[in-house]
Structure 1
Amino acid sequence: MGHSALVWDHRTAIEVTKDLNGIDQVVLRNPQGASAWVSLHGGQVTSWRNDRGEELLFTSSKAIFKPPKAMRGGIPICFPHFGNCGSLEQHGFARNRIWIIDSNPPPLHPYDSHGKSFIDLVLKPSEEDLKCWPHSFEFHLRVSLAADGNLTLISRIRNINGKPFNFSFAYHTYLTVSDISEVRIEGLETLDYLDNLCQRERFTEQGDAITFESEVDRVYLSSPNIIAVLDHERKQTYVIRKEGLPDVVVWNPWEKKSKSMIDFGDEEYKQMLCVDGA
């Protein structure tokens, strides 16, 4: 009796389209119907849907999609620094630049390729970038969508001319939640954190889990590599796994700050939470 098997070809699961501003965006799909959208503006994941079509990433209804403004939502890439840093723009310039598709990426391991689609992007500094941050680099980003719907981002930063430089980096991940007051984060209890609402004063987390009743903007130090975000109302858990990123940033602007941001709805803080490997 003969045998037959469906062979998954990740290349057929990738589509390149253009957004409303004519910027290329890459759509990844898996055999079960999950999808991820990646914009070449910022190398930013703008959408991640599960096999039921439910959106897992938050994007503000007031987000500005036109360069050079960074889009409020998805997973912005913060590089070469995270936060405010002197003359450089907030969270660095990588999220505001046009990336290119890597024409010769490293292959997937055969045992890791079944049902997975992926795209490799590259960012190289422009002459203007080198004027404000004079370091030669190549930033290689792989975004992959696995057969089980898991989304993975892998970054490699290459020093081109061998002169050492320092940088900071974060995946500024906007998760969509049903109601922020019904959400808790597990895995950060007992850790020290820097509170950006108190001039980065250092505190120790006292709760058995992090819950939300007001604005939160904290950097949890030396955090574990697995953190869980539990959405009780939706009966859904995000499991965040990270490697090589020591800290976790937790941010929700709450009511007052939301009203001060032009690209964020007044009430949208209730439906989002940023949990960033940094």
Structure 2
Amino acid sequence: MSAFSSILLSLASLSNSMSVVLDVQAVFKPPKAMRGGIPICFPQFGNSGTLEQHGFARNRIWALDEEHPPLYQNDNNSKSSVDLILKPLEDDLKCWPHCFEYRLRVSLSKDGDLSLVSRVRNVNGKPFSFSFGYHTYLSVSDISEVRIEGLETLDYLDNLSQRERFTEQGDAITFESEVDRVYVGSPNVIAVLDHEKKRTFVIRKEGLPDIVVWNPWEKKSKTMVDFGDEEYKQMLCVDAAAAERPITLKPGEEWTGKLELSEVPSTNCSGHLDQPGII
């Protein structure tokens, strides 16, 4: 198992107290990607390009970054981190002929707050473009009791309607059927309210303009061999992403994309993005 997969498993084990979840029927046989945790989608998010769906990074063996200590704690011992690095394999260069260095820092606080910082550098002789996503699987009590705040009035691309563009009309996003949308130009703070457990997942992002919202619902769940027929009821993907427009790097340039995920108590009332500690 790759170093990266091991970290995803560790994060998924926190699902009872934190938000990351690993699907019960997930497959742990590389090079197949795990369904759950926070797979890294690079250099392609979705399946609109020439690469395999969501790119190859989530299927590869990551190494510890030798330029940094393999594991360290900050000065007040409240956070532990690990630094990983991914470089292209020969097979990767055949399907995506661009040299890159991808560095990932994963940090977890003693309170359960999670931070992922990705840095992609172009070490190629020419520019290249990529799309990206932190494909975050959230553990929820009941999908019908969940709402997302922070995406109101935004345009979204509906992947269930050939990426046709619509405008969000509701005062929050709720779920009654399959959803697969790219909310473009989204704010950097999003709240996911789980009414039954009276908790709010707070998603903060930097360098990632879009939010992807996905739940397969009942019909699609039954067609997925690594996903339980009823698991759609207890999960929701809310992904910080660069999905609508690709990121382009010139030779020597570096891009940084950051995700922070935390959990705070909440009630059924709205307006959580204005509460102290969220923004």
- Shorter-normalised TM range: 0.7 to 0.9
- Provide the C-alpha distance between the structure 2 equivalents of 1:111 and 1:153, rounded to a whole number of angstroms: 16
Which letter maps to 1:66? K
1:194-233 alignment to 2 at 5 Å? 194-233=157-196
- Provide the C-alpha distance between the structure 2 equivalents of 1:75 and 1:66, rounded to a whole number of angstroms: 17
What SS class does the counterpart of residue 111 from structure 2 fall into?
A: coil
Selected match of 1:127 from 73, 90, 95: 90
- Provide the C-alpha distance between the structure 1 equivalents of 2:153 and 2:76, rounded to a whole number of angstroms: 38
Which letter maps to 1:213? E
Selected match of 2:40 from 77, 82, 95: 77
Selected match of 1:173 from 105, 122, 136: 136
Selected match of 2:197 from 228, 231, 234: 234
Give yes or no for the alignment of 1:87 onto 2:50. Answer: yes
Which letter maps to 1:195? D
- Provide the C-alpha distance between the structure 2 equivalents of 1:45 and 1:169, rounded to a whole number of angstroms: 21
Q: Contact between 2:19 and 2:138, CA under 8 Å: does it hold in 1?
A: yes
% identity of equivalent residues: 72
Give yes or no for the alignment of 1:65 onto 2:28. Answer: yes
- Provide the C-alpha distance between the structure 1 equivalents of 2:181 and 2:75, rounded to a whole number of angstroms: 35
What's 2:11 paired with? 47
Structure with greater Cα Rg: 1
Change (3 A) 1:141 1:111: closer
Q: Contact between 1:172 and 1:277, CA under 8 Å: does it hold in 2?
A: yes
- Provide the C-alpha distance between the structure 2 equivalents of 1:205 and 1:262, rounded to a whole number of angstroms: 32
Selected match of 1:141 from 94, 101, 104: 104
Q: Contact between 1:188 and 1:209, CA under 8 Å: does it hold in 2?
A: yes
Number of residue-to-residue matches in the alignment: 241
How far is the alpha carbon of 1:163 from its aligned partner?
1.5
How far is the alpha carbon of 1:59 from its aligned partner?
1.4
- Provide the C-alpha distance between the structure 1 equivalents of 2:46 and 2:237, rounded to a whole number of angstroms: 14
Q: Contact between 2:18 and 2:112, CA under 8 Å: does it hold in 1?
A: no
Which letter maps to 1:83? G
Change (3 A) 1:128 1:49: closer
Give the structure-1-normalised TM-score. Answer: 0.81
